[in-house]
Amino acid sequence: MAHHTSADSDDAERVSVDGVFASLANPERRRVLEFAIARAPEPTSREDLATALAAWRTDRLRTDVTDEAHQRAAVSLRHAHLPKLTAAGLLDRVADDAVVPADHPAYDDPGVREVIEGDVAADADSLDALFDALADERRRTVLDVLSHQIGSIHTETLARELLARERDTVESDVPSAAVEQCLTRLRHTDLPRLSTAGLIEYDADARTVAYEGHPELRVPWMHSVLHPEFRGSLSGESDPDGIGEIEGRERVISFGQSLCDRADDELFCMFTDTQLLEAGCLTRIRDASRRGVTVYLGTPNPAVREYVRENAPEVVLWEPNTDWLNLPAAGDRVGRLLLADREAVMLGTLREERTDGYHDEQAIVGEGEHNTLVTMICQLLGPHLEEIDAGTRNAALDLPL
Amino acid sequence: MSDSDEGDRADTVVVYDQGSTETPAEAVVAAVADVTGRSPLDLDPLYDAIDPDTLNTLFSTPAWASSVTVTFEYCEHRVTLTGEEVRVSSPGGPP
């Protein structure tokens, strides 16, 4: 299905993302979408949808559905599911009493497709809570902010960061009345909901909050974006063989997180500085290893190694030599390297220290098996990966790059 | 679900059957279908009046259901929903 090419305003786009997630926060609607997609491009009649939904509800063959179960499914479709799905722009009504999947970017999002097609490990309740929590832009931004931190932060710090982003200003310029109002909403609405969904760890008494994540949560969703060209939108890179550039710590982190999501077989990562492993990255590395990806992680931070040993013991840990990779890239030193499936790579360099104590960062990225940067990094790392595999687990390793 | 008329008031009250799997939203549709004498499938979508998910959420958590009352207009009737019952006021009846 093609993308929307209309000049939707930002507001319309946000509302539609809310509607998509609210639509997905219900197991019956996920099945209705699955039935409609299976039939597409042919329309599906309400009758057939009711039969399919009743069969799914009662765990019977479609030919064995009782009249009563069919009637109840038809009522649910008419009064709840179909109006909600058409209002979200996911289904179009055609002819009399039939629907067809709409031309909506959600269907191009691999994470959304997997959830609709039931191709996920998470149970239905957990998915309902995830999408219910995601159906609000403020909550999506809370997740993005928290996923860039390691450990827990005070809720007031979170409120200031949220408001600074919304107003495009610095945290010290946010008026305290606005912080109060934001804290109230966080305390009574957003944080309990995110906590119920297991997406954050929230201590209401201590007023601290930390990122927890969810196996099905995709990085673009936290940015209120659905389409799969998310990484291209960060790097501005559209040529598949080219090398893109990413400016700024926040964008570098988001790109790195999405590479962790992308890996199917192997993920190689290295962080030369203890500051660089944020919670979002760490949980994504953990999730990748849990879904069977072979993960190699190099870090000089003993606390991170301890965390990984406890939470993802199958990750292959090693300690990078601190002098590794002194590329003369404008005098900056390399901070992080991520290589997913030997097909997509990000090489981040550290720049001057910011007022908040973090280094600013930039990165070069490449994607595709025959991409120049990917080829170069693979050739440099290949022999060392075998060396790590061969039994130097947890050992220091010099990479003569 | 059982119907009961309350004296001379023009309301129809439907009491939830605690043992049934009927959701609050389904109970509203069934009650209004009863009062209007129309099929549930001919009534306007409930979603046009109120989000059925929201109703179901409000009344699926016992701690909330015991203290929440929701009133809204649907199919030219006034519908009042509590944790125990659906009350449908006929047009022109008491507010």
pLDDT digits (tens, 9 = 90+) for A191-205: 999 999 999 999 999
Are the Cβ atoms of A75 and B41 closer than 8 angstroms?
A: yes
Q: Which two tokens stand for residue A222?
A: 């936290």
pLDDT at residue number A385: 72
- Model confidence at A393: pLDDT above 50: no
For A167-188, what is the mean pLDDT? Answer: 88
CATH value at residue A367: 3.30.870.10
Q: Is A338 helix (H, G, I), strand (E, B) or coil?
A: strand
Picking from A73, A89, A119, the residue at the C-terminal end of a domain is A119
Task: Assess whether A99 and A51 both reside in one domain.
Answer: yes
> How far apart are alpha carbons B59 and B83 in whole angstroms?
6
> How far apart are alpha carbons A79 and A46 in whole angstroms?
12
Are the Cβ atoms of B47 and A76 closer than 8 angstroms?
A: no
Are the Cβ atoms of B29 and A79 closer than 8 angstroms?
A: yes
Task: Assess whether A247 and A377 both reside in one domain.
Answer: yes
Query: Which single residue is written with the structure tokens 């992680």?
Result: A297
Task: Assess whether A19 and A150 both reside in one domain.
Answer: no
Higher pLDDT, B32 or A395: B32
Best A18, A76, A79, A132 residue to mutate vs chain B (most B CBs within 10 Å): A79
pLDDT at residue number A329: 44
Q: Do the domain assignments include residue A223?
A: no
Length of chain B: 95
- Model confidence at A353: pLDDT above 80: no
Task: Assess whether A183 and A275 both reside in one domain.
Answer: no
Q: Do the domain assignments include residue A75?
A: yes
Picking from A66, A100, A119, the residue at the C-terminal end of a domain is A119
Q: Is B54 on the interface with A (CB under 8 A)?
A: no
Q: Do the domain assignments include residue A217?
A: no
Task: Assess whether A250 and A342 both reside in one domain.
Answer: yes
Task: Assess whether A97 and A147 both reside in one domain.
Answer: no
Task: Assess whether A203 and A277 both reside in one domain.
Answer: no
In chain B, residues with a C-beta closer than 8 Å to the C-beta of A91 are none
Picking from A96, A119, A142, the residue at the C-terminal end of a domain is A119
pLDDT at residue number A396: 46
- Model confidence at A120: pLDDT above 80: yes
How far is residue A120 from each of residues A113, A124, A209, A291, measured CA to CA in Å?
Answer: 10, 10, 27, 10
pLDDT at residue number B6: 43
- Model confidence at A257: pLDDT above 80: yes
- Model confidence at A366: pLDDT above 60: yes
| Enclosing domain of residue A19 | 10-119
Instruction: Kindly report the number of other CB atoms within 10 A of residue A178's CB atom.
Output: 15
Q: Do the domain assignments include residue A355?
A: yes
Per-residue pLDDT reduced to its tens digit, A280-335: 677 788 888 888 899 988 887 787 788 788 878 888 887 765 455 544 444 567 78
Q: Do the domain assignments include residue A216?
A: no
pLDDT at residue number A11: 52
For A371-400, what is the mean pLDDT? Answer: 68
Q: How far apart are the first and last CA of chain B?
A: 24
- Cβ-contact A223, A140 below 8 angstroms: yes
CATH value at residue A115: 1.10.10
Shortest alpha-carbon distance between residue A126 and chain B (Å): 15
- Model confidence at A74: pLDDT above 90: yes
> How far apart are alpha carbons A228 and A167 in whole angstroms?
27
Per-residue pLDDT reduced to its tens digit, B47-67: 999 999 889 889 888 888 889
For A16-23, what is the mean pLDDT? Answer: 92
Q: Do the domain assignments include residue A184?
A: yes
For A46-51, what is the mean pLDDT? Answer: 96
pLDDT in tens, chain B (95 residues): 444 444 444 677 877 665 567 889 999 999 999 999 999 989 999 999 999 988 988 988 888 888 999 999 999 999 999 988 899 987 665 55
For A100-114, what is the mean pLDDT? Answer: 92
pLDDT band at A149 (very low <50, low <70, confident <90, very high): confident
pLDDT at residue number A131: 96
* Interface ipTM: 0.80
Task: Assess whether A268 and A367 both reside in one domain.
Answer: yes
What are the sequence ranges of the domains in chain B?
2-89
Task: Assess whether A96 and A146 both reside in one domain.
Answer: no
Are the Cβ atoms of A84 and B53 closer than 8 angstroms?
A: yes
Using CA coordinates, name the residue in chain A closest to B55. Answer: A80
> How far apart are alpha carbons A68 and A289 in whole angstroms?
46
Shortest alpha-carbon distance between residue A139 and chain B (Å): 18
Q: String of b and e for A224-237 (b: at least 16 CB within 10 Å)?
A: bbbebebbbebbeb
Q: With the CA atoms of A335, A341, A344 and A350 taken in that order, what torsion angle do they form, in degrees rounded to the nearest 10?
A: 0
pLDDT at residue number A321: 59
Task: Assess whether A250 and A389 both reside in one domain.
Answer: yes
Q: Is B52 on the interface with A (CB under 8 A)?
A: yes
pLDDT at residue number A137: 92
In chain A, residues with a C-beta closer than 8 Å to the C-beta of B46 are 79-80
Backbone angles phi, psi at B92, to 5 degrees: 80, -5
- Model confidence at A7: pLDDT above 60: no
Task: Assess whether A110 and A200 both reside in one domain.
Answer: no
For A121-134, what is the mean pLDDT? Answer: 92
Per-residue pLDDT reduced to its tens digit, A52-73: 999 999 999 999 999 999 999 9
pLDDT at residue number A25: 95
Shortest alpha-carbon distance between residue A45 and chain B (Å): 15
For A214-233, what is the mean pLDDT? Answer: 82
Q: String of b and e for A118-145 (b: at least 16 CB within 10 Å)?
A: eeeebeeeebbbbbbbbbbeebbbbbbb
- Model confidence at A20: pLDDT above 80: yes
- Model confidence at A5: pLDDT above 70: no
Shortest alpha-carbon distance between residue B43 and chain A (Å): 9
Interface contacts (A, B; CB < 8 Å): 37
pLDDT band at A213 (very low <50, low <70, confident <90, very high): confident
Task: Assess whether A201 and A241 both reside in one domain.
Answer: no
Residues 6+ apart with CB under 8 A from A204: A187, A191, A192
Q: Do the domain assignments include residue A318?
A: yes
Host H or E run for residue A203: strand A200-203
Query: Mean pLDDT over all residues of chain A?
Result: 83
pLDDT at residue number A63: 93
- Cβ-contact A119, A238 below 8 angstroms: no
